Amino acid sequence: MELFIVFIGTLTLSTREAHINKAKKNGYEVTETISKSTTFLICGKDGDQTIINKAKSYGVRIISEQKWVETLHKVETCGTGKKRTRSDNNKSQNQKKLVYLESRQYRRFWQMRRVYKTTYIRTGSIGSKGMETSKEYETKRLAKESMTSMIASKKVSGYKEARRPQSLDYEDSSDSSDDNFGDENDENDYKYKQKKQKLENEESESDATLHGDETSDVDNGAAALKEDEDEDLSTIKSLPSLPSFITNPKSSMSIMKGNNSVDVLLAHPWKPDETDPTGWWISEKLDGVRAFWNSKRGKFYSRNGNEFVPPSWFSKGLPRDKDLDGELFGGRGKFQSTISIVKAGVEEWKNITYEIFDVPTLGLLPFEDRMKYLKKMIAENKPQYAKLVKQKSANSERDVYDELERVEKLGGEGLMIRKPGSLYEMGRSKTLLKIKTFYDGEAVVIGHEPGKGKYLRQCGSLLCRMASGKEFKVGSGMNDNDRINPPSIGSIIIYKCQELSNSGSPRFPIYLGVALDKDKPTDPDFKQKVKIK
């Protein structure tokens, strides 16, 4: 297998020409531009970010000049050896180890191979060449286990073995599925090849199986998470140990920006005619305050970077090495009281919990593996004020409607559904969908209307402006405290309504509370309402 590399930026440890000559001497092919065939990108100082982003999109591994020099030295000290070509007999045996599956329902193919400690997955539409990604595991055993799990999961989700198209014969980034390279009796050559394969990215890892829309199809054991709705995690005495690539990943994500704002995963509305929810994960949409747990700082932040300051005992038991995404939740129908506690409460924090629904640090792993980590963390740490949001698998579209009806009868806001095997994406994603039977939006408070009767000398209603510029009044939903201390002029409030009037104003608006994590209004999305069948 040829390894193509590209050098960018200012190289300081040696001249560019010396680096290129040494790379070629050790069997690497040096090119000037990034392509899907590129294996490694070596970055000097002031490397072009556009090239780095392009490399990430192709699944190219990115390493520093220092790491390149160190690794190349290790390769040279392991001995050198000629590249060997496989015999036709070896190729035939290796092809048998390759697994090729197709889903006629979704008209997609999924192919997986393993080369020693590295798995290679190619996926795409049937008839296309698709896109290949790879992941290197710490041991050969872990790679085998992962491959077995992924194949079984794909078959459970409807993929079946099929005849592999000849057009894919020469499209793989590695042309061998055997555990060894070349002559198995040549131990030095074998070690040399392994060292060459093991270039790792410690500074900007672009690991493999986990980039882009294509690879979000990788389903790593979705069936293993079918959780009973009434399961109590506190009763679990022991959980199976997680693979080391989950508990100690080589690379991790961070969704914190420089100004403390947080680029969290956001949902699109569910459109029944576009997305079949069968096999997706269902959870209740909580009517609380979105909160990101920064484990290194030991603090909660809103999407806009506003810090929430609970008493120290509230966060006891939360991890100090994994960031969390969740909701500060005081119960159904208690959004306003939750807002009050988060803004100024102390002892009142005992009345809310941190409902965890994801772990962004492990965002490059499939959703099911992230849930396994959270279950293990909750069981081991036993945080008193943190819970894992319950997930249940939808067997059909009817399951979604039944659950939506059940939740809304209990006073819940709606549902969230999550695509199996999906990664944690920053920003709005089609892998996370929200379902509600009413519209909600945000508006800017531009005035206070005086109250009458029992609300004399209090605020009767809020004068608000929508993102569209349309002005309206809302008083329904405000409690006594809201009327005595109404939201200040310029603040963003959340409201819900049935529909828009002919003039464009919300009909029967209901005040829900102040939006702590918003800095501008958003009008209701009138395409997201779902009618219960």
Determine the Cα–Cα distance for residues 315 and 444; give it in Å rounded to an integer: 32
Closest by CA position to 302, among listed 264, 265, 346, 249: 264
Determine the Cα–Cα distance for residues 477 and 278; give it in Å rounded to an integer: 36
Determine the Cα–Cα distance for residues 4 and 34; give it in Å rounded to an integer: 9
Residue entry with tokens 């405000």 = 478
What is the four-CA torsion angle of 294, 300, 302, 308, rounded to 10 degrees?
A: -150
> What is the sign, positive or negative, of the torsion defined by CA atoms of 97, 103, 104, 107?
negative
Q: Which of 117, 154, 285, 434 is catalytic?
A: 285
- Take residue 308 and report the two structure tokens written for it: 């929430």
Closest by CA position to 388, among listed 366, 359, 415: 359
Question: With DSSP H G I counted as helix, E B as strand and the rest as coil, what are the percentages for the chain, rounded to 5?
Answer: 30, 25, 45
Rg (CA), the chain: 27
Determine the Cα–Cα distance for residues 199 and 202; give it in Å rounded to an integer: 10
506 pairs with which residues across the strands? 500
- Asked if 263 and 427 count as a contact pair (C-beta separation under 8 A), the reply is yes
What 344-347 contacts at long range (C-beta under 8 Å, 24+ apart), as own/partner pairs, is 346/311, 347/311
Closest by CA position to 271, among listed 399, 152, 433: 433
- Asked if 373 and 242 count as a contact pair (C-beta separation under 8 A), the reply is yes
Active-site residue flag, 520: no
Determine the Cα–Cα distance for residues 10 and 187; give it in Å rounded to an integer: 37
Determine the Cα–Cα distance for residues 369 and 220; give it in Å rounded to an integer: 7
- Take residue 517 and report the two structure tokens written for it: 């994590």
- Take residue 46 and report the two structure tokens written for it: 């002031």
Determine the Cα–Cα distance for residues 202 and 250; give it in Å rounded to an integer: 8
Query: Around Cβ 391, how many Cβ atoms within 10 Å?
Result: 22
The answer for residues whose C-beta is within 8 angstroms of residue 325's C-beta and 6 or more apart is 255, 264, 265, 292, 293, 356, 357, 358, 359, 360, 424
Position 136, amino acid: E
Active-site positions read 285
